[in-house]
Amino acid sequence: MMGEDELRSLVGHQFPGGRYRIAHWENWLLTDCTGRAPMPEDLVHPVVLFHAPILGAGTSIAELFRLGEAAGAGSVGLESYDWEYFQPLREDVDYDVGGGIVDAERTTSPTGAIVDRVAFAIELHDGDTLVARVTNRWKFRRGS
């Protein structure tokens, strides 16, 4: 298990950054997974704000697990999301994506169970316009 200092040192880690374009097929399948009919015109389903920021920022779920030193299946869980939409997201637009880790803290329950909470924030821009921002907080269970 990583030490508390190592955990705190994650704060400030910046993802490489990059671009992400949401293709029609991707939006169609994503929307179908939600149980909804296809989105009208070229609008993208709001749930795209999970994977488009992560992949667009040049990281991945697997890399985030590595950074948090996930111990295996069942050791990672979702804590919270804060997703802000400043403009509607649309298919076939190249969004500039960047962000990093903004918070990391360790908590110990009365029974001695240790949970590390790690938050990352990522923004999507269309040119100079901020289109969306996500702040996602994950928990890494360390046992006791």
Partner 1 sequence: MNVHVHDMIPSWTMAVVDAARMKTMAAILRDPYPVHWDRLANQAFGLGGRVINQGPLNLSYVANMLMDWSGPASIRRLTVSFGPPVLDGDHVIAGGRVTAVVDNDGESLAECDVWLERNGEHVVDGTAVVVLDRSR
Q: Which residues bind partner 1 (CB under 8 A)?
A: 26, 29-30, 32-36, 39-40, 43, 45-47, 50-51, 55, 60-62, 65, 73-74, 76-86, 88
Alpha-carbon gap, residue 122 to 29, rounded angstroms: 23
- Which tokens in the block code for residue 93? 């637009």
Q: Toward partner 1, which CB reaches closer, 1 or 23?
A: 23
Please check whether residue 37 is in contact with residue 19, taking contact to mean a CB–CB distance below 8 angstroms: no
Smallest separation, CB 5 to partner 1 (Å): 27
- Work out how close the CB of 136 gets to partner 1 at its nearest, in angstroms, rounded to a whole number: 9
Residue 108 CA to residue 126 CA, distance in Å, equals 41
CA distance linking residue 86 with residue 69, whole number of Å? 33
* Cβ–Cβ under 8 Å, residues 48 and 89: yes
Give CA–CA dist 125/102, Å, rounded.
19
Of the pair 3, 62, the CB lying nearest partner 1 is at 62
C-beta of 4 vs 82, nearer to partner 1: 82
The least CB distance from residue 41 to partner 1, in Å, is 8
Q: CB of residue 128 vs partner 1: minimum separation in angstroms? A: 19
